[in-house]
Chain A
Amino acid sequence: MYSSLILLPFLSVIALNLPFRNLMKKLAFVVCLLVLLVQISLIVCPSICIWSNDLDIFGSFLQFNFAVDNLSRVMLFCIGIVLLAALFVQRYIIDDEERIFNFVNVLLLILIGMDGIVMVRDIFSLYIFLEITAVGSFILIGFNKDVDAFEAAFKYIILSVVATVLMLSSIALLLIVSGSTSFSSISDALKTSPDSLLISSAVAIFLCACFIKAGLIPFHGWLADTYSAAPAAVSVLLAGIVTKTVGAYTLIRIVNSVFGFESSINSLLLVIGIISIVIGALAALGQRDFKRMLAYSSISQVGYIILGLGCGTTLGLAGAVFHLFNHSIFKTLLFVNSAAVELETGTTDMNGLSGLSKKMPFTAMTSVVASLSAAGIPPLSGFWSKLIIIMALWMSGFYVYAVIAILASVLTLAYFLSLQRMVFFGRLKEDSANIKEAGLGLMFPALILALIIVAVGLFFPFIINTFILPAGNILGG
């Protein structure tokens, strides 16, 4: 039935572009909304699926090797939520029917790409869905057709192309070794074949491709420019889920299912993770642009995910997945709020902003929730995932990494607090008298996301036992 998650958006795109385009333009938003709601409800409550096997007949036409486990479910849920938020933001900011229609089309393509990434069990199919997502992202970054956005899109294309080339070469090398592209056969082949230069370089190249996609230091050059120059909705999309799916998730999946946790890979992940955490946080501290700061914070937070993965234990993996989920939620919320601020004040330069909490109390409040969650303040969700990661590090004996990770979360708190203080607290500027709270279209997704953060934090025992630990377990086993 999960193949319908690919088929449904695919058919929707086709349907939208058939005749009656004028009618379809009006329907585009609703169609996309429905598709996303179907995806979310399918994850939250699989039993509502009324068509169960029917569509799988169509699925069988597609020559893809789909499988869904707990990790995939977590990812599918995140994808649904973040895309929904992005859709709302775009719809709120841009009232033009034509452009919404275009946006929805690309968004659905990206949805196909990401759903594919999290469900395939075949390295070449993975590559194809990665490319679908990447191309969709290029288009969306340049969606507003301004110079900065084009420049950012260009940087993204260049580095993405490098990643693509690397990935393709790696796949070719792996094909030489195993003769097949499915995860299981490559994994078996790697286990049986002797350690060779070929395999090592294939692994290195593939990992680097993923690092570029995830924007880890020192492969992160494209990330800050792209996040800050992209239109608000696209920033939400990229920061919230796209880089996490194409980078972090792919790393988790590949390392876990294909390469396996070898000590050299683990230590590589730990080093890259800790460098990303520290440098990302330090860089974020120096930023004076709302979205740029969030971008560097993204690097730092993905570092935590990779750090959890690098433990190589079930608990670490669970922590990584949980943090991935949390990061998607709070970073999306922060970008939604940045969109609100940008829309109301016309700027994201923090030096030009002050005291907005008086005019935008709701935005300020949800930002506090998201920031505190990101900084790992109990009882918000971010605290638990960081705690799990640090516990996993400690139990695996990586004491130094654990201590650095804790100290770095002080930096996280520092830059988020300075963001809060500069943007939302302090004295209101005189010329900002006619600033008002963003509309319902932005407040609704923000509210939902903030509620998820608080609820996951408060009902943590239930969440961890029901979703997160199984995700770690299945992968570990």
Chain B
Amino acid sequence: MIDKLLLLLLIILPLIAAVKILIIFRKFPKLTEAAALSATLLNLLLAIILFKSEIRFFAPWLGWGLDFSLRLYHFSAFIILAIAGFSFLIALYSVVFMRGKPCLNQFYVYFLLTLAFANGVVLSDNLLILLFFWEGLLLTLFGMIAIGNKNAFQVATKAFIIVGITDLCMMIGIALTGYLSGTMAISQINLPLGGLASLAFILLIIGAISKSGSMPFHSWIPDAAMDAPLPFMALIPAAFEKLLGIYFLTRICLDMFRLNVNSWLSILLMIVGAVTIILAVMMALIQKNYKRLLSYHAISQVGYMILGIGTAVPAGIVGGLFHMINNALYKSCLFLTGGAVEKQTGTTNLEELGGIGSKMPVTFICFIITALSISGVPPFNGFFSKELVYDGALQRGNIFYIIAVLGSFFTAASFLKLGHAAFLGKLQEKNNNVREVSFSMLLPMIVIALLCIVFGVFNYLPLNKLIGPILGESRLGGHNFSGFPVNMKLVVVSVVVLIAALLNHIFAVRVKGSAIKASDHIHHAPVLSAIYDRAEKRFFDPYDIGMNITRKISKVAFLCDKAIDWIYNVLIVKLTFAFTNEIKRLHNGSYSMYLVWSLLGLFLVAAFLVH
């Protein structure tokens, strides 16, 4: 009984804190921060307490299988713990970062609501309940972006529309799934793919990968990186959305539909993943802004996860899931370092940065660790998860492997450029008296960076304790993915690629003369430069394309509407009044005329009846 209450508390506690902040602590920023911190800390404690338990909570609700049911088991407990950890660390970070910013109150309200809804999504064992929390996340997403700078409202609208449309797809998918399987309880759904079920699968997948920020539903993330508050970026696109999106994707692929190697849907997922990896990382490479560069990586890394899970082979799935947690770690930490730089220098534009590594050594070290992780340098965590994904991709097709490795090359290249341009090189005049950030901002970065090392060096911890049970013994088939990768060929290729990236960087810097121009030779390469120009002008933004099409459709609809309006408002009215005026003209008040009409009428009637 008590554990069921604790389970509910995971959702209720942040909600209460949010309401408290919204209503009572409006005018007291200190109390607001304290409430947010204590709520996230309590949530973390709860997550730790409940970590090893298996709990089901069930309350009948609407009937027809629509019940309020929650389920905590090893997978959801893992995600809950991760969410709780990130939210506490980022709350700690925000206390300093957000201090004195406008909309502080709203930020924490959305923060805690997001936490409550995210917990709800992870725990819910009923598709409808899941949808409810999922849509709640959409609202807080909108709110959190909208409280940023002056462009933020447009970006928020963009995010709202993109995610809203994909959520709509997911809603239909949920309805279809419920119809096909006859139940809404997620743990009881087990559908074979094919026919309508494939459609339901695709619709659900759209919802899941859109939440995780994959292409083609990504285009709000780089915009939000520039305009939304930074802790939002570290919390939502970097951590929560990956966790939730990939969690749901895994549930769909492993539990609800049992994706297998022979299915074309597996290929489809892998293609989405591969395309996302390569295109996003290419965009990241040429960015000249700290946060924007990171945001493209946030998209690109999702590609590895989707690719991994899409392979439907144990190595790939384990790699995808491992990459999910690794990416959440290093990507949020990278954003936090970006926030630290922004806080101290007032900018994230790489052209105004440089050489601050000596001024902010701790931040720089955290950056190095996480950058090495994301580039896949052994023995950091990113290396191991990427190797697993490569392994899975290679089993399914060389092309996927090649793209993944290519993505790795560009990732390494862009982080070399970023680190070089931001932390090394010549210090700019105005940055002379930059200091290290305060401890409560450093602590989250340090903790996460350490975790990156721990998850790399002791990778049997996450792989065997957290991810292994998700697939289950039968699916793992006796494989043990922990420890150093078995396939040494893959490792060699990876290392060669990394070295190539380093050489490329050194070469480019020497030729171009500055770190920030390190990617220019790729940027201005023949064919690529034209594509880049168009991409920078948002020619390929699915949102803008969709909006253009929508605008054209609405123009046509408007014309149709005007035509219909014209028929109703002009034609019919004109006709009516033409008749009316004619009738008025005939009624000239002459009684002899009226008499004639009557007599004519009489003759007509008589003729009619006599006939």
A411 to B587, CA, bound (A): 20
Q: Say whether B597 faces chain A, with CB atoms less than 8 Å apart.
A: yes
Are B583 and A208 within 8 A (Cβ)? no
A205 to B595, CA, bound (A): 15
Least CB distance from B502 to A in Å reads 79
A188 to B608, CA, bound (A): 23
Are B601 and A204 within 8 A (Cβ)? no
Are B610 and A221 within 8 A (Cβ)? no
Are A283 and B584 within 8 A (Cβ)? yes
A212 to B597, CA, bound (A): 11
Are B580 and A208 within 8 A (Cβ)? no
Least CB distance from B59 to A in Å reads 42
Interface string of A219-241 (1 = CB under 8 A from B): 11110110000000000000000
Query: How many of chain B's residues touch chain A, expressed as a range?
Result: 20 to 34
Q: Hey, which chain B residues are within 8 Å of A282, CB to CB?
A: 576, 579-580, 583
Task: Say yes or no: A208-B598 contact (C-beta < 8 A), given A221-B593, A268-B605, A279-B583.
Answer: yes
Q: Say whether B606 faces chain A, with CB atoms less than 8 Å apart.
A: yes
A203 to B602, CA, bound (A): 11
A287 to B601, CA, bound (A): 24
Q: Which of B573-611 contact A (CB under 8 A)?
A: 576-577, 579-581, 583-584, 587, 589, 591, 593-595, 597-602, 605-606, 608-610
Q: Which of B581, B598, B605 contacts A159 (CB under 8 A)?
A: B598
Q: Hey, which chain B residues are within 8 Å of A218, CB to CB?
A: 597-598, 600-601
Q: Which of B577, B598, B608 contacts A264 (CB under 8 A)?
A: B608
Q: Say whether A211 faces chain B, with CB atoms less than 8 Å apart.
A: yes
Task: Say yes or no: A219-B601 contact (C-beta < 8 A), given A159-B594, A268-B608.
Answer: yes
A158 to B602, CA, bound (A): 16
Q: Hey, which chain B residues are within 8 Å of A268, CB to CB?
A: 605, 608-609
Least CB distance from B167 to A in Å reads 39
Are A208 and B576 within 8 A (Cβ)? no
Least CB distance from B165 to A in Å reads 39
Q: Hey, which chain B residues are within 8 Å of A212, CB to CB?
A: 598
Q: Hey, which chain A residues are within 8 Å of B594, CB to CB?
A: 155, 159, 220-222
Q: Hey, which chain B residues are within 8 Å of A283, CB to CB?
A: 580, 583-584, 587
A162 to B596, CA, bound (A): 11
Beta-carbon nearest neighbor of A280 in chain B:
B583
Least CB distance from A210 to B in Å reads 11
A211 to B602, CA, bound (A): 9
Q: Say whether A102 faces chain B, with CB atoms less than 8 Å apart.
A: no
Are B609 and A224 within 8 A (Cβ)? no
Are A219 and B576 within 8 A (Cβ)? no
Q: Which of A154, A200, A208, A221 contacts B602 (CB under 8 A)?
A: A208
Are A154 and B598 within 8 A (Cβ)? no
Q: Hey, which chain A residues are within 8 Å of B605, CB to CB?
A: 204, 207-208, 211, 268
Q: Say whether A45 faces chain B, with CB atoms less than 8 Å apart.
A: no
Are B608 and A205 within 8 A (Cβ)? no
Interface string of B309-331 (1 = CB under 8 A from A): 00000000000000000000000
Interface string of A404-425 (1 = CB under 8 A from B): 0000000100000000000000
Q: Hey, which chain B residues are within 8 Å of A220, CB to CB?
A: 594
Q: Say whether A166 faces chain B, with CB atoms less than 8 Å apart.
A: yes
A286 to B579, CA, bound (A): 9
Q: Which of B580, B600, B602, B610 contacts A197 (CB under 8 A)?
A: B610
A155 to B205, CA, bound (A): 81
A166 to B605, CA, bound (A): 13
Q: Say whether A368 faces chain B, with CB atoms less than 8 Å apart.
A: no
Q: Say whether A265 faces chain B, with CB atoms less than 8 Å apart.
A: yes
Are B581 and A286 within 8 A (Cβ)? yes
A155 to B602, CA, bound (A): 18
Q: Which of A159-196 contact B (CB under 8 A)?
A: 159, 162, 166
Q: Say whether A396 faces chain B, with CB atoms less than 8 Å apart.
A: no
Interface of chain B: mostly helix, strand, loop or mixed:
helix
Interface core residue of B577, B587, B591, B609 (most chain A CB under 10 Å):
B609
Q: Which of A211, A221, A265 contacts B595 (CB under 8 A)?
A: A221
Q: Which of A204, A219, A225 contacts B609 (CB under 8 A)?
A: A204
Interface string of B378-415 (1 = CB under 8 A from A): 00000000000000000000000000000000000000
Are B608 and A154 within 8 A (Cβ)? no
Q: Say whether A108 faces chain B, with CB atoms less than 8 Å apart.
A: no
Are A158 and B591 within 8 A (Cβ)? yes
A88 to B584, CA, bound (A): 33
Are B598 and A201 within 8 A (Cβ)? no
Q: Hey, which chain A residues are within 8 Å of B579, CB to CB?
A: 282
A197 to B611, CA, bound (A): 9
Q: Hey, which chain A residues are within 8 Å of B576, CB to CB?
A: 282, 285, 411
Q: Hey, which chain B residues are within 8 Å of A225, CB to CB?
A: 589
Q: Hey, which chain A residues are within 8 Å of B609, CB to CB?
A: 200-201, 203-204, 207, 264-265, 268
Task: Say yes or no: A285-B577 contact (C-beta < 8 A), given A159-B598, A207-B605.
Answer: yes
Q: Which of B580, B593, B599, B610 contacts A286 (CB under 8 A)?
A: B580
Are B606 and A211 within 8 A (Cβ)? no
Least CB distance from A205 to B in Å reads 7
Beta-carbon nearest neighbor of B598 in chain A:
A219
Interface string of A107-124 (1 = CB under 8 A from B): 000000000000000000
Are A155 and B598 within 8 A (Cβ)? no
A20 to B583, CA, bound (A): 53
Q: Which of B545-595 contact A (CB under 8 A)?
A: 576-577, 579-581, 583-584, 587, 589, 591, 593-595
A371 to B597, CA, bound (A): 30
Beta-carbon nearest neighbor of A262 in chain B:
B609
A212 to B602, CA, bound (A): 10
Q: Hey, which chain B residues are within 8 Å of A264, CB to CB?
A: 608-609
Interface core residue of B584, B594, B606, B608 (most chain A CB under 10 Å):
B594
Least CB distance from B584 to A in Å reads 5
Q: Hey, which chain A residues are within 8 Å of B583, CB to CB?
A: 279, 282-283, 286
Least CB distance from B97 to A in Å reads 57
Q: Hey, which chain B residues are within 8 Å of A208, CB to CB?
A: 598, 601-602, 605-606
A268 to B611, CA, bound (A): 12
Interface core residue of B577, B599, B602 (most chain A CB under 10 Å):
B602
Beta-carbon nearest neighbor of B606 in chain A:
A204
Q: Hey, which chain B residues are within 8 Å of A203, CB to CB?
A: 609
A211 to B597, CA, bound (A): 12
Least CB distance from B340 to A in Å reads 63
Are B602 and A166 within 8 A (Cβ)? yes
A70 to B354, CA, bound (A): 102
Are B610 and A205 within 8 A (Cβ)? no
Interface string of A274-311 (1 = CB under 8 A from B): 00000100110111000000000000000000000000
Beta-carbon nearest neighbor of A208 in chain B:
B602
Task: Say yes or no: A155-B591 contact (C-beta < 8 A), given A200-B609, A285-B577, A286-B584.
Answer: yes
Known contacts A268-B605, A286-B577; 17 further A-B pairs (Cβ under 8 A) = A154-B591, A158-B591, A158-B595, A201-B609, A204-B605, A204-B606, A204-B608, A204-B609, A207-B609, A211-B601, A211-B605, A219-B598, A219-B601, A220-B594, A221-B587, A222-B594, A283-B583
Q: 17 A-B contacts, Cβ less than 8 Å apart?
A: A158-B595, A159-B595, A162-B598, A197-B610, A201-B610, A204-B608, A204-B609, A208-B601, A208-B602, A208-B605, A218-B597, A219-B597, A220-B594, A221-B595, A222-B591, A222-B594, A286-B583
B residues whose Cβ falls under 8 Å from a Cβ of A: 576-577, 579-581, 583-584, 587, 589, 591, 593-595, 597-602, 605-606, 608-610
6 smallest beta-carbon distances between A and B, as pairs: A221-B594, A286-B580, A204-B606, A218-B597, A204-B609, A200-B610
